Amino acid sequence: MLLALKIVAIVVLALYALLLPFFACLGLAELGMRSFGWFTERTAPSLPVKLGTFAVAAPKFAVIILKSIRRNLLRSSLSYLAIFVMVFVIAVIWSILGFLESQTAARAGNFRALVTDKFQIPSQMPPRYVAELTREVMTLPEAVRPDPVKDIMTWSFVGTSLDPDPAKRSAENIIFFFAMDPRGLLHMMDDLEQDRLAPDEAKQMRDNVQAMRDNLKGIILSEEKLKTINRRVGDKLKCYCFPAMYKDIEFEVEVVGTFPKSAGRYDGNAILNLEYLQKALDTYEKTNRKPHPLADRYINLYWVRVKDEPTMMAVSDILSQPGKFATPPVKIERGSSAIASFLDAYKDILAGMRFLLVPAIVVIMILVIAIAISIGVRERRPEMAVMKVLGFQPWQILILVVGEALLLGMLSGTICTTLAYFAVNSFGGIQFPIAFFGKFFIPWSALWWGPVLGIIAGVAGSFLPAWSARSVRVSEVFAKIA
Amino acid sequence: MTAATIVNVSELHKSFTRGTEKIDVLVDLNVEVAEGEFLALMGPSGSGKTTLLNLIAGLDQPTSGRITVGDQVISSMTESQLARWRTRHVGFVFQFYHLLPVLTAYENVELPLLLLPLTAAQRKRQVLNALELVGLSDRMQHRPGMLSGGQQQRVGIARAIVTDPTIIVADEPTGDLDSKSASEILDLMEMLRENLNKTIIMVTHDPHAAERAQRIVHLEKGRLVTETTNGDEPIVAFVRN
């Protein structure tokens, strides 16, 4: 009973929160139009006659449109809510697709070449390759030569659990590490680069990196993950590697810092010092008197930032020389292409979202508007006829109907994307684990394309009913009434 | 007729097609209405009186024949020309008032003026004058739902006269009113004719309403059958077998 009451209260509050901005916008729009009308009535006499008439009539027509929306508040509210929900779903889908697209698109001025094992998936390269690859890359002409600290990094993926029992592994106790040289965090990791962060966050990252360099066992963890495992910065953790990856390897780590708030994409992830992984593998060898199975292939990715496309081709040529990097052979590709290849596994679901789900939602949105406006037009056919009798031209009646739907769509789109932008992004983004991306955020561009989407749906959905309204035959309407 | 003819309907023919059947609604009709005249159109249902009214008001176009209102031949106008013409020259009073429910009485009366090049002051003056003429100055901020049937019809009349039209056409203006309200509306229409010299053409089934008109034209099966000047015996004007 109490639960039911709570649910009812939440639904009522949610409706109130969603509808309040709609009613407020309607009220404000009417107030604005009336004020504009008051202003134009005083300035119109100084304008040419036709322009003056238009200037005076336009805000009054707008008020009629607003009043028509208010006429059946229940229907308008339901239409608004339906469009709101659909724009929200599209905003979420588009945010995910847009982000993935941006990651798979080459970025001018920030070319990152990715070297991976040519045939093995996941890529597994010997650690000696790091020094050898770096040495080869350093043979590039000085003008395009990468900085070994700022432009090169390696990643080793380490999946661990806080519980030693694999049967008790859960989303809550799993920690996924990127094992790397901490210095790479400041220059090579998306959204963590010093020049992209706010000054206080940039300092936070510098402090984190220093702490990791000072303490080999130091890790950086996302705040969200810390909350999930109920720990805080300074706490020590014991992490047990997944047997399928680093069997019998354990880490005793200390949380030395968290990711900056603006780098929400790293929620759920963690950074481990690569040197610690190396030491753990050495310890394993000493203890077990044999090397760990992954000891000679624990480098998953080797990243190098190059100046431009020709430099990347030059790096490719160097690495492809006969006899070099042959066991195992490596391949080089753009970082964006690599991510795209990685996302290939998800291409069907992503294509389904893009080409089926989004168009289907848009069509449903148009139909919702079409139905709502059609009902309204059918109810108001006598009014349309009266307006025609009074001298309104068919196109003016068409504009009144389309304007109603356009305003409804625009308000829904605007309110939805504005609320979504601030609410979703403030509450930590959209949880949608895909590949190594765990969270997505509504982009600021949604603030313009949300309203545009609403407007397009409004115009498309209302066009047929509006055409029917403009074509009302006065004598037929009144004959039916009689 | 001493006054100038303001409406001239000549050899008017209107037919509709229903399926394969052609229905003649008006057949070779000739009617003249003088300026400042109050004319009632009577006849049984389906006799074509509303069709004639719609044609005179420029709401429909004849199959053949000619309609002149003032100095303009409206029977050859296009739809948009007719719309523009109606704004200035026709005031329409409906049986069911047909006020826009979301607008106040003032805004309803103001509606046709939005299409005309008037200053705010001119528009306001005309609306207030019209509302005062129908005795509703104190109800101008009321919505139709807050007014009685008689009051709504007064607003309808104010809306019809606010543009100072050449003719006022009324389709059963008292058909939805009680006898007291109907009488008041008819008083108002008579007043408009007498004081403002308005030309009024009214369709009605109600003999009491028709009595208020100066002339009554009876239609039957699309033909004008009798024409009566108020107080006179009916005269057979035109009968075609």
pLDDT tens figures, A236-285: 999 999 888 888 889 999 999 998 887 767 777 899 999 999 999 999 99
Q: Which of A64-73, A190-199, B222-231 has the lowest mean pLDDT?
A: B222-231
Burial of residue A194, with CB atoms counted within 10 A of its CB: 0-12 exposed, 13-18 middle, 19 or more buried = middle
Q: What confidence tier does A185 reach under pLDDT thresholds 50, 70, 90?
A: confident
How high is the pLDDT of residue A295?
85
Contact B98 A52 (CB under 8 A): no
DSSP-derived 3-state class of residue B31: strand
Q: Point out the least confidently predicted range of A188-197, A198-207, A455-464, B17-26.
A: A188-197
Between A446 and A429, the higher pLDDT residue: A446
Task: Record the pTM.
Answer: 0.70
Burial A40-57 (b: 16+ CB within 10 A, else e): bbeebeeeeeeebbebbb
Return the pLDDT at B240: 39
- Residue A355: Cβ within 10 Å count: 10
A394 CB neighbours in chain B (<8 A) are 79-80, 83
pLDDT in the model for residue B123: 86
* Rounded distance between C-alpha atoms, residue A366 and residue A456, angstroms: 9
Which pLDDT score is estimated for B20? 82
Chain A residues within 8 A of B93 when measuring between CB atoms: none
Chain A CB contacts of B172 under 8 Å are 482
Q: Which residues contact A99 (CB under 8 A, 6 or more apart)?
A: A437, A440, A441, A443
In chain A, which residues have their Cβ closer than 8 Å to the Cβ of B171? Answer: 478, 482
Half-sphere exposure of B16 (CA within 13 A, CB side): 10
Contacts of residue A166, defined as CB under 8 A and 6 or more positions apart, other chains included, come to A242, A243
Q: What pLDDT digit, counting tens, does each position of A6-64 carry?
A: 889 988 898 888 899 999 999 999 999 989 888 887 887 777 777 777 787 888 889 88
Cβ atoms A314, A144 nearer than 8 A: yes
Highest mean pLDDT among A174-178, A318-322, A327-331, B229-233: A174-178
- At A405, the amino acid letter reads A
Chain A residues touching residue B117 (CB < 8 angstroms): 49-50, 52-53
Band (A106; pLDDT cuts 50, 70, 90): low
For range B217-235, the mean pLDDT = 75
Q: Which alpha helices (H) appear in chain B, and where do they start and end?
A: 49-56, 79-89, 105-110, 120-133, 149-161, 179-196, 207-211
pLDDT of B237 higher than 70: no
Which residue bears the tokens 């003008």?
Answer: A143
The answer to whether residues A270 and A178 touch, using CB atoms and an 8 Å cutoff, is yes
Proportion of chain A above pLDDT 70, given as a percent: 94
* β-bridge mates for residue A430, sequence order: A440
What is residue B93's DSSP assignment?
Answer: E
pLDDT at residue B47 greater than cutoff 60? yes
CB contact under 8 A, B112 and A71: no
Confidence of residue A443 (pLDDT cuts 50, 70, 90): confident
What is the DSSP code string of A254-323? EEEEE--TT-GGGTTEEEEEHHHHHHHHHHHHHHHTS--TTTTS-B-EEEEEESSHHHHHHHHHHHTSTT
Instruction: Closest CB to A56: pick one of B50, B120, B159.
Output: B120
pLDDT at res. B235: 46
- Other beta carbons within 10 Å of A11: 10
Contact B59 A382 (CB under 8 A): no
CB contact under 8 A, A482 and B117: no
Residue A109 pLDDT more than 60?
no
**Cβ B59–A67 below 8 Å, yes or no?**
no
**What is residue A22's three-state secondary structure?**
helix
Determine, for residues B103 and A67 on separate chains, whether the beta-carbon distance falls below 8 Å.
yes
8 Å CB contact of B51 and A474: no
Is B104's pLDDT higher than 90? yes
pLDDT for residue B239 is more than 80: no
Phi and psi of A456, rounded to 5°? -60, -45
Q: Hey, are the CB atoms on A52 and B115 less than 8 Å from each other? A: no
Does the beta-carbon distance from B102 to A389 stay under 8 Å? no
Q: Do the chains contact at B87 and A391, CB–CB below 8 Å? A: yes
Q: Is B80 left (phi over 0), alpha (psi -120 to 50) or beta?
A: alpha
Mean of pLDDT over chain A: 86
Kindly provide the b/e burial profile for residues B114-135, where b requires at least 16 CB atoms within 10 angstroms of the residue's own CB: bbbbbebeebeebbbebbebbe
Q: Is A364 exposed, middle or buried (0-12, 13-18, 19+ CB in 10 A)?
A: middle
Q: Choose among B204, B134, B144: nearest CA to B169.
A: B204
Mean pLDDT of A107-111: 59
Whole-angstrom CA distances from A322 to A326, A329, A330 are 8, 11, 12
Between CA A82 and CA A87 the distance in angstroms is: 9
Interface of A with B (CB under 8 A): 41-42, 44-45, 49-50, 52-53, 56-57, 60-61, 64, 67-68, 70-71, 382-383, 385-394, 474-475, 478-479, 481-482
Number of helical (H) and strand (E) elements in chain B, helices listed first: 7, 11
CB B205 within 8 A of CB B50: no
pLDDT for A440 equals 81
pLDDT of res. B231: 60
DSSP letter at A436?
T
- Chain A: residue whose CA lies nearest to B123: A41
Averaged pLDDT, A99-109:
65
Kindly determine whether residue A482 and residue B119, on different chains, have CB atoms separated by under 8 Å.
no
**Euclidean distance between CA atoms A340 and A322, whole angstroms:** 28
Q: What ipTM did this prediction achieve?
A: 0.85
What are the start-end ranges of the H helices in A72-173?
73-104, 128-137
User: In the prediction, which pLDDT does A348 show?
Assistant: 81
Q: Tell me which residue in B92, B103, B120 faces A41 most closely, judged by beta carbons.
A: B120
Read off the pLDDT of each residue in A404-426 and give the average, rounded to a whole number.
91
**CB count in 10 Å sphere of residue A198:** 11
pLDDT score for A460: 92
Chain A residue with Cα closest to B78: A393
Backbone phi, then psi, for A346, in 5-degree steps?
-105, 5
Nearest chain B residue to A479 by CA: give it.
B50
> Phi and psi of B219, rounded to 5°?
-115, 150
Q: CA–CA separation, A22 vs A14, rounded Å?
A: 13
pLDDT of residue A320: 80
Say whether A67 and B102 touch across the interface (CB within 8 A). yes
DSSP label of B114: G
Q: Which residue of A has its CA nearest to B110?
A: A60
In three-state secondary structure terms, A172 is coil
Pairing of strands A250-258, A218-221: parallel
Nearest to A179 by CA among A118, A234, A253: A253
Q: Which residues of B touch A (CB under 8 A)?
A: 50-51, 54, 57, 59-60, 79-80, 83-84, 86-88, 90, 92, 94-96, 98, 100-103, 110-112, 114-120, 123, 159, 171-172
Q: Does B180 score more than 90 pLDDT? A: no
Residues of A within 8 A of B118 (CB-CB) are 53
Question: Which chain B residues are closer than 8 Å to A53 by Cβ?
Answer: 115-118
Question: For testing the chain B interface, which of A386, A388, A398, A399 should be mutated: the one with the most B CBs within 10 Å?
Answer: A386
